[in-house]
A = this chain, B = another copy of it.
């Protein structure tokens, strides 16, 4: 890499762009998010981002090590927003549930961005903060360290996996506009009972279900399992 990427904290000079805008990591990330929202996942490119910023495309490389670095920063931003929108109550189950939903919602608010970032572990500050928070909730609730780590793992991966999956579905809908939307009422509803009896019998229910996320149900299932584990452990070693 010929260009040295300088971290935001060390950045000293703030030379305005030819068109007058003053760049920053924050501005670039937010512009990228806006472009993703407006023009879809394929609408984000270094060149277009440059134009949108009123700067040369290559300038972005002074702030991020390639578009991949920008992508990770976007993920970090979404994770941060989830955390900011969340408040603790002190009840572990309530807090975990709302935190999971907050993460899911934060990503789904920017489906095109989520598709790019949700399956990446970045190790950046806000992401670590989320991890610390989850582990704290669990350990404070009385889970053993082993249980806490196991549940934490399932919890965070479930949230991220469904953020990615549901965002993918949303992003496609946004782009193909209904071409895909009626899949469950078109393709699946017209399968003959002779070859596909079970789909045919439940087609009306499927159409309803499949256009919503399965995440809340699975989250509750996970929390139920954790709850059971907690009470059984309490019974054992207290």
Contact = CB atoms under 8 A, between A and B. Distances in A.
Contact of A214 (B153, B164, B188): B153
Nearest to A121: B183
A38 interface: no
Contact of A153 (B161, B198, B199, B210): B210
A234 interface: no
A202 B119 contact: no
A206 interface: yes
Contacts of A168: 119-120
A83 interface: no
A66 interface: no
Taken together, the copies of this chain in the complex come to 2
A205 B119 contact: no
Given A161-B161, A161-B164, A198 B119 contact: no
B209 A149 contact: yes
Interface string A55-89: 00000000000000000000000000000000000
A132 B194 CA distance: 12
Interface residues on A, range: 35 or more
A149 B199 CA distance: 9
A150 B209 contact: yes
Contacts of A109: none
A146 interface: yes
Contacts of A162: 157, 161
Interface string A118-160: 0111010000100110011001000001101110011001101
A169 B160 CA distance: 12
Contact of A222 (B121, B160, B218): B218
A217 interface: yes
A224 interface: yes
Nearest to A203: B149
Given A145-B202, A149-B209, A168-B119, A196 B128 contact: yes
8 contacts: A115-B119, A119-B169, A131-B188, A136-B197, A145-B201, A145-B205, A157-B162, A221-B224
Chain A to chain B: the 8 pairs with minimum beta-carbon distance, closest first = A119-B168, A135-B198, A161-B161, A161-B165, A149-B205, A157-B214, A154-B214, A221-B225
